[in-house]
Structure formats: structure tokens, C-alpha cells
Amino acid sequence: MVGENMDSIFTMGIDVGSTASKCIVLKNGCEIVGQSLANAGAGTSGPRRAITAALESLSLTKEDLYYTVATGYGRHSIDWIDKEITELSAHAKGAYFFFPDVRTVIDIGGQDAKVLCVGDQGMLRNFVMNDKCAAGTGRFLEVMARILEVDLKDFPELAEQSTTTIGISSTCTVFAESEVISQLAKGTHKNDIIKGIHQSVASRVSGLAKRLGIINRVVMTGGVALNSGVRRALEDELNCEIYTSDLAQYSGALGAAIIGYDKVCQ
Ligand code: ADP
């Protein structure tokens, strides 16, 4: 049992997002020993389920944790944690864990998109964000997947099979929805529509990124980083290579767990 090793310092990071709750347990500030994701975010049972699953997988209890940090949109909803931090600092630290030379983070989550300028040690220096409009977010992709009756997980593979470029020009999710429906009615292949949707997200987010300025290395975090079609479209728009890790969606939770460890060691 992990908890029997008294030399181990366990810290937990919980990211209560708009769409999903993510949890990371870190051992001694450097080893990810537990992770859990519940596909339900703020205001649901998602945070509790994610925390319970992560602890149970390690046979740990809350009392075994030295420090717990919550982040994300719904971070205020957990009352027993030690500290709350913004998802901006959390994502910067989470990206730094896998890519110590990161200078720009592009985080696209369920309801917003953020671009962060990161300094030494993964410290946040500056940021821009879009949280006013669903276009260019995970929600936009979810709405489009529903209309197309395609699993979002299949988007990258289908987009790769696209043979024609079609533009989704509407900058509003509601209008883009009508645009996609009319493309379907015209008989446009779903693969081409999906590629157009990826380009539309990339175009929105790259506009944001250019406002801040892009410095290499660029790392993508948040759930949309799992969509390699959006990532490639962003690489084309920004003319740079974009790195990501398998744990991209956990970046906020990971950064929170790291910041928790830093607090223990202060
Ligand atoms: P939040 O923190 O706001 O809850 P996340 O960073 O967890 O958001 O990202 C949620 C988004 O990630 C979803 O809206 C969806 O677009 C995207 N996503 C999640 N899993 C996948 C997947 N397997 N493939 C493609 N996209 C995904």
C-alpha cells in the first residue's frame, strides 16, 4: 500500500472544470501516482467521484494527503481543501512538468480558451482568454459532434481523410451550427466538415494567441489537446510546432498538485 511509506509526501490537485473533474495525486512532488477523471464538472457529483476514485486506486484516504489544492471554474465548491488557485497558474505549472522549456501554453477546455506566457520554473507571466463565447472551445466541438452524429474521439481520424477544404465562417456557435446543417443538406462529406470545424477553432484561438505573441516552446493543455486535428490546424495557423502530453487534460490538476508540494516544502 502506498500510504504505508511514511517517507512519501502525497499532494493532490483537483481541477473542477466546466465539463470534467480531474484529479492528480503526486508523490514527493515529482511522481504521478494517481489520476482520475469524471466526465462531469462544477455543480455535479463529478469532483467527489474523481477524488474518491483517485484515492481508492492508491488505498489512500484524505488524511494521507499533506496538501490539497483545488483549481478550475468550480474550485470554490470543495470545502476541505488547503488552497485554491486559478487555472492559469495551474496550467502553466502542469505544462512545465513535462516541458521545462515551455514559454507559451494554449489551454482549450470545455468553455473557454486561454493563451499563457510562461517564464522560468513554469511561472505565469501574462495571459489572454476567451470566456465570452463558445466558439473556439470544447463546447463548440461537442455541439458539432452532436449535429454530425459522430463521436468527438473520432474527429481527428475522420478529418485526416478529408479531401476538400470547406470554410466554417461563422464566429458564433449558433450560426456555425446552421452552417454545418446546411453543408450536410448540400451533401458535403462529414470528413470535410470536421476538418473545417477544426480550422474554425484554430482560427479563433490563433487570433487570441497572436494578441499575446507566440514564443517557443508551445505546449497545448486542456481536453481539446486530445484532438490532434485541432492541434495540427493550430500548428498551421501559428506556423510553429505544438507539443502536448498524454495527460494534457490533467494539466490543471497536475499543476495544482505541484503547487501543493511547493507549499509543503516552503
Ligand atoms: P474543463 O476543464 O472546462 O472541464 P477540459 O479541459 O476537461 O474542460 O476539456 C473538455 C473538452 O475536451 C471537451 O469539451 C471536449 O471537447 C474535449 N475532449 C475531451 N476528451 C476528448 C477526446 N478523447 N477526444 C477529443 N476531445 C476530447
Q: Is residue 192 part of a domain?
A: yes
Q: Is residue 222 part of a domain?
A: yes
- The pLDDT confidence band at residue 1, using thresholds 50, 70 and 90, is very low
The Å distance, Cα 244 to ligand 1 centre, comes to 14
Give the pLDDT mean for 30-47. Answer: 92
Pair (60, 156) in one structural domain:
no
The Å distance, Cα 15 to ligand 1 centre, comes to 13
Ligand 1 atom at minimal distance to the Cα of residue 222: 6
| pLDDT above 70: residue 153 | yes
Nearest to 176 by CA among 150, 137, 224, 143: 143
> Which of 21-35, 105-119, 175-189 shows the lowest mean pLDDT across its residues?
175-189
Q: Is residue 30 part of a domain?
A: yes
Ligand 1 atom at minimal distance to the Cα of residue 15: 2
Q: Is residue 4 part of a domain?
A: no
Q: Is residue 232 part of a domain?
A: yes
User: The cell 479563433 sits on which residue?
Assistant: 204
At 3 the pLDDT is 44
Q: What is the pLDDT of residues 113-131, one digit of tens each?
A: 999 999 999 999 999 998 7
Cell of 223: 481536453
Ligand 1 atom at minimal distance to the Cα of residue 227: 25
- The pLDDT confidence band at residue 134, using thresholds 50, 70 and 90, is confident
Pair (86, 128) in one structural domain:
no
At 54 the pLDDT is 97
Cell of 233: 490546424
Give the pLDDT mean for 88-116. Answer: 97
Pair (153, 233) in one structural domain:
yes
Which structural domain range is residue 135 located in?
Answer: 101-244
Q: What is the pLDDT of residues 174-233, one digit of tens each?
A: 888 889 999 999 999 999 999 999 999 999 999 999 999 999 999 999 999 999 999 999
At 88 the pLDDT is 97
* Residues lining ligand 1, Cβ inside 6 A: 17-20, 41, 72, 109-111, 138-139, 141-142, 152-153, 222-224, 226-227, 249
The Å distance, Cα 138 to ligand 1 centre, comes to 6
Give the pLDDT mean for 131-158. Answer: 92
Dihedrals φ, ψ of 189, to 5°? Answer: -65, 140
Q: Is residue 1 part of a domain?
A: no
Q: How many CB atoms lie within 10 A of CB 223?
A: 25
| pLDDT above 70: residue 14 | yes
Task: Determine the residue of 15, 150, 227, 246 to mutate for testing ligand 1's pocket, defined as the one with the most ligand atoms within 8 A of the Cβ atom.
Answer: 227
Task: Determine the residue of 224, 230, 244, 247 to mutate for testing ligand 1's pocket, defined as the one with the most ligand atoms within 8 A of the Cβ atom.
Answer: 224
The Å distance, Cα 17 to ligand 1 centre, comes to 10
Cell of 77: 465548491
Pair (114, 215) in one structural domain:
yes
The Å distance, Cα 28 to ligand 1 centre, comes to 28
pTM of the predicted model as reported, rounded to 2 decimal places: 0.94
At 6 the pLDDT is 53
Average pLDDT across the chain, whole number:
93
Number of domains in the chain: 2
Pair (156, 254) in one structural domain:
no
Pair (55, 183) in one structural domain:
no
Pair (108, 199) in one structural domain:
yes
Pair (114, 223) in one structural domain:
yes
Pair (151, 173) in one structural domain:
yes
Pair (211, 174) in one structural domain:
yes
Contact 24, 50 (CB under 8 A): no
CATH assignment at residue 177: 3.30.420.40
- The pLDDT confidence band at residue 172, using thresholds 50, 70 and 90, is confident
236 vs 177: which has the higher pLDDT = 236
| pLDDT above 60: residue 2 | no
Pair (147, 216) in one structural domain:
yes
Return the residue whose CA atom lies nearest to atom 20 of ligand 1: 223
Q: How many CB atoms lie within 10 A of CB 159?
A: 24
The Å distance, Cα 190 to ligand 1 centre, comes to 21
Q: What is the pLDDT of residues 52-90, one digit of tens each?
A: 999 999 999 999 999 999 999 999 989 899 999 999 999
Q: Is residue 5 part of a domain?
A: no
- Our CA dihedral for 248, 258, 88, 62, rounded to 10 degrees, sits at 90
Q: Is residue 119 part of a domain?
A: yes
Pair (83, 124) in one structural domain:
no
